[in-house]
């Protein structure tokens, strides 16, 4: 969490200088392009481009490592569930079956393994752009840019608060876990069995929910006292004009959506399997 209480990582890269609404358009175009296809070749190219863009932003790894590991764990569990529940699903997509591993009640085939690899790469492809959007976008600037493109400022300000509230939730989570650890409740490996640690983490949900409701009430009361929502329009402290890079990236994002739709309809229509 940065000193200003947000996930924003200060910097001077192209993405830091880019308008928030343009980054949102790029994120939407990237997401649409990713979910249109089921082709490993497309995902490899997009992943390499995304990693290059992420490296250019120079975001410290310690800031993004939590999200990175969450994505890794998600993919591991997703892969395990697919292989155990639908071990022959790849054959339904390709029409061929190449047995690899017998798991008793069924056989995992090569087509399903390749499908899992494709699906995992698909999810990971979204990670670089998601990190860029989250960690290079200042909440206030993003809210003002949303309001500038026609979104009501009440909704834009709600997005601003949501961005700022995520680090507060993380801080609250650490405070609660530290206080519970002082009372002898284990959360780390070696402090308690795995199932017990899961139960301990789950038990934090109730105080977190109560704390969140209290915080929402405090914020809403403070905004009401300041007359928020009284006027149809409002001014913003962070309001910048579109620059050349914004127009360029916006145009490329629209072209990405159009090109992806054309490729899906005309060229890459289904699941790509090389064998």
Specify whether 33 is located in the same domain as 131: yes
Question: Residue 236 phi/psi, 5° resolution?
Answer: -130, 140
Together in a domain, 109 and 29: yes
Shared domain for 111 and 207, answered yes or no, is: no
Considering the domain architecture, whether residues 202 and 262 belong to the same structural domain is answered as: no
Assess whether 265 and 226 both reside in one domain.
no
> Is residue 41 within 8 Å of residue 47, measured between CB atoms?
no
> How much is the pTM?
0.77
HSE toward the beta carbon, residue 37, CA cutoff 13 A = 31
Q: In this structure, are 54 and 132 located in the same domain?
A: yes
Domain housing 148: 139-237
pLDDT tens-digit profile, the chain (275 residues):
444 446 788 888 999 889 888 999 999 999 999 999 999 999 999 999 999 999 999 998 888 888 888 888 889 899 999 999 989 999 888 889 899 988 888 888 999 999 999 999 999 999 999 999 989 988 877 878 877 878 887 787 777 777 767 666 777 777 777 777 777 777 777 677 777 777 777 777 777 777 777 777 777 777 777 777 777 777 766 667 788 999 999 999 999 999 999 999 998 888 999 87
Total number of domains in the chain: 2
**Cα 60 to Cα 51: distance, rounded to the nearest angstrom:** 14
């Amino acid at each position: 969490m940065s000193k200003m209480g947000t996930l924003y990582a200060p910097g001077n890269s192209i993405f830091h200088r880019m308008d928030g609404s343009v980054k949102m358009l790029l994120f939407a175009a990237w997401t649409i392009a990713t979910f249109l296809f089921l082709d490993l070749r497309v995902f490899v190219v997009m992943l390499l481009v995304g990693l290059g863009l992420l490296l250019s932003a120079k975001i410290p790894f310690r800031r993004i490592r939590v999200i990175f590991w969450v994505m890794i764990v998600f993919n591991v569990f997703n892969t395990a569930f697919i292989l155990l529940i639908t071990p022959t699903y790849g054959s339904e997509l390709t029409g061929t079956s190449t047995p690899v591993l017998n798991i008793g009640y069924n056989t995992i085939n090569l087509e399903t393994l390749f499908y899992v690899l494709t699906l995992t790469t698909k999810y990971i492809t979204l990670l670089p752009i998601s990190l860029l959007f989250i960690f290079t976008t200042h909440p206030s600037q993003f809210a003002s840019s949303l309001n500038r493109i026609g979104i009501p400022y009440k909704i834009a300000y709600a997005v601003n608060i949501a961005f700022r509230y995520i680090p507060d939730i993380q801080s609250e989570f650490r405070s609660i876990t530290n206080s519970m650890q002082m009372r002898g409740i284990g959360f780390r490996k070696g402090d308690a069995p795995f199932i017990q640690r899961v139960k301990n983490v789950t038990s934090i949900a109730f105080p977190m929910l109560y704390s969140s409701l209290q915080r929402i009430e405090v914020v809403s009361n403070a905004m009401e006292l300041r007359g928020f929502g009284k006027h149809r329009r409002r001014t913003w402290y962070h309001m910048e004009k579109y620059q050349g890079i914004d127009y360029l990236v916006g145009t490329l994002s629209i072209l990405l959506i159009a090109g992806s739709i054309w490729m899906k309809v005309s060229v890459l229509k289904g699941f790509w399997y090389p064998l």
